[in-house]
Amino acid sequence: MKNLIIAPSILSSDFSNIVEEVKTVENCGLEWLHIDVMDGSFVPNITFGPKFVNDLRPHSDLYFDAHLMINNPEQFIDAFSDAGCDSITIHSEATNHLHRALQMIKNKNKDCGVSINPATSVEMIRPVLPMVDQVLVMTVNPGFGGQSFIDLTLEKIKLLKELKEQNGYKYKINLDGGINLSTIEKAREAGCDVCVTGSAFFKAENREEFVKSMLKIANNS
Ligand code: DX5
Ligand code: ZN
């Protein structure tokens, strides 16, 4: 199994000090930054738009992994691409035209991802699995950091891993929500390639030590 990729979510960072917060991610030797975009409609919370990404881009070489929790994401794919995202993930529940929206991301030469909420089955995204670079399995209901991992998602993660192996699909399995030192082992055993960590990373007493401990558990399991 490949080394675990850890993607800190800036949702749990101090927004008033964002450039410094992002630097700590780089200083821990990490390569991904997870950017949670919320519209107050698909989820009951609001975060930031493309200008935020555009402003942050010159300050960081991290891989910007945008997670769009917005309805009708096709309206904003061009804007987030042009702002400098490396990857754009959209929710299967947020569009009537999932294939078209994913194709729009690919046409912008960005990595594309599809996400499913805890209550959405893998069947709903099965037709698009051959075309995506990542499947983001929500392991909490989206909207807020600091929630508890929902165990019923483990079966879906295992199924995604099986489908990937059986069919030679290339997608990474990315888990988002409630991932920390207590949950990473079961997440990894189920098939996690990338884990988003919001509060566990940004609220850790020592972020570097936290990353080391996560990698130790994950790469041993
Ligand atoms: C939730 C977001 C997550 C969130 C994870 O809707 O998509 O990325 O920041 O935060 P934790 O790790 O605290 O559950
Ligand atoms: Zn997220």
Q: Give the ranges where the chain is alpha helix by DSSP (H).
A: 18-27, 50-56, 77-83, 98-107, 154-167, 184-190, 199-202, 207-220
Place of tokens 């891989």: 63
Give per-residue pLDDT as tens, 6-22: 999 999 999 999 999 99
Residues touching ligand 1 (Cβ under 6 Å) are: 9, 11-12, 34, 36, 67, 140, 142-143, 145-147, 176-179, 196-200
The domain containing residue 137 runs over which residues?
5-219
**Measured from the CA of 142, which atom of ligand 1 is nearest?**
6
> How many percent of the chain have pLDDT more than 70?
100
pLDDT of res. 41:
98
Token pair of 127 as six digits: 């037709």
How many distinct structural domains can be found in the chain? Answer: 1
Q: What CATH code is carried by the domain that includes residue 42? A: 3.20.20.70
Give per-residue pLDDT as tens, 166-179: 999 999 999 999 99
Query: String of b and e for 31-41 (b: at least 16 CB within 10 Å)?
Result: ebbbbbbbbee
Separation of alpha carbons 16 and 214, rounded Å: 27
Give residue 35 CA to ligand 2 midpoint distance, Å: 7
Phi, psi (degrees; rounded to nearest 5) at 187? -65, -45
Q: Which amino acid is at 29?
A: G
- Mark whether 111 is an active-site residue: no
Give per-residue pLDDT as tens, 83-120: 999 999 999 999 999 999 999 999 999 999 999 999 99
pLDDT of res. 221:
63
- Mark whether 78 is an active-site residue: no
Give residue 55 CA to ligand 1 midpoint distance, Å: 22
Give per-residue pLDDT as tens, 134-188: 999 999 999 999 999 999 999 999 999 999 999 999 999 999 999 999 999 999 9
CA within 13 Å, CB half, 121: 2
Give residue 142 CA to ligand 2 midpoint distance, Å: 7
pLDDT band at residue 29 using 50, 70 and 90 as cut-offs:
very high
Q: Is the confidence at residue 43, as pLDDT, over 80?
A: yes
Q: Which residue among the candidates 65, 111, 133, 176 is catalytic per the annotation?
A: 176
Beta carbons within 8 Å of 207's beta carbon, 6+ residues apart: 24, 27, 28, 201
Residues with CB under 5 A from ligand 2 (ion): 36, 67, 176
